[in-house]
């Protein structure tokens, strides 16, 4: 297989996916609470990940919609819910590094490659080395 060492953690994803039957986001109080709880679980899962090798890095790629990524970054940074928005453009890359259990180093936010910059894959490859 092309990505034989890729570990997909899908236990939180319903079999029909998050987006099913054309339902829009639940903007009721209970819907917002459920979204915050889901984001908090993802943030906690990220904090609990351990490197494959002792003292080594653990690289995780998250692909998602801008609203989810904005909420997740806010949760990781400890920003009160609803007090800050982070833009995540289509195909943009946000690179954060978790140091210890609480320190978050933001390397890039909403980075978009241009002709004068290296490609996203080159930038991500340099992170992995």
pTM of the model: 0.67
Segment 32-83, tens digit of pLDDT:
888 899 899 989 988 888 766 677 667 778 878 888 889 999 999 999 988 8
Asked if 62 and 72 count as a contact pair (C-beta separation under 8 A), the reply is yes
Segment 75-113, tens digit of pLDDT:
999 999 888 888 887 778 888 888 776 788 888 888 876
User: Which residue segment(s) compose the domain that 33 sits in?
Assistant: 29-128
Q: Looking at the domain assignment, is residue 38 inside a domain?
A: yes
Q: Looking at the domain assignment, is residue 21 inside a domain?
A: no
Q: Looking at the domain assignment, is residue 112 inside a domain?
A: yes
Q: Looking at the domain assignment, is residue 17 inside a domain?
A: no
Q: Looking at the domain assignment, is residue 40 inside a domain?
A: yes
Question: CA of 92: how far to CAs of 4, 33, 65, 66, 87, in Å?
Answer: 26, 27, 11, 10, 9
Q: Looking at the domain assignment, is residue 94 inside a domain?
A: yes
Please tell me the total count of domains within the chain.
Answer: 1
Report the DSSP beta bridge partners of residue 28: none
Q: Looking at the domain assignment, is residue 14 inside a domain?
A: no
Q: Looking at the domain assignment, is residue 105 inside a domain?
A: yes
Q: How many angstroms separate the CA atoms of 94 and 81, rounded?
A: 19
Run of H or E including 125: helix 120-128
């Amino acid at each position: 297989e092309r990505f034989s060492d890729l570990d997909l953690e899908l236990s939180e994803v319903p079999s029909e996916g998050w987006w099913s039957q054309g339902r829009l986001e639940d903007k009721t109080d209970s819907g917002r609470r459920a979204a915050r709880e889901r984001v908090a679980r993802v943030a906690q899962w990220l904090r609990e990940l351990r490197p494959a090798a002792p003292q080594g890095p653990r690289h995780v790629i998250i692909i998602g919609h801008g609203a989810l990524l904005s909420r997740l970054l806010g949760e990781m940074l400890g920003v009160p819910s609803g007090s800050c928005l982070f833009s995540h453009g289509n195909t943009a890359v946000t690179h954060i590094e978790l140091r210890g259990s609480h320190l978050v180093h933001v390397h890039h936010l909403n980075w978009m490659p241009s002709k004068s910059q290296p490609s996203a894959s080159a930038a991500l490859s340099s992170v992995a080395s």
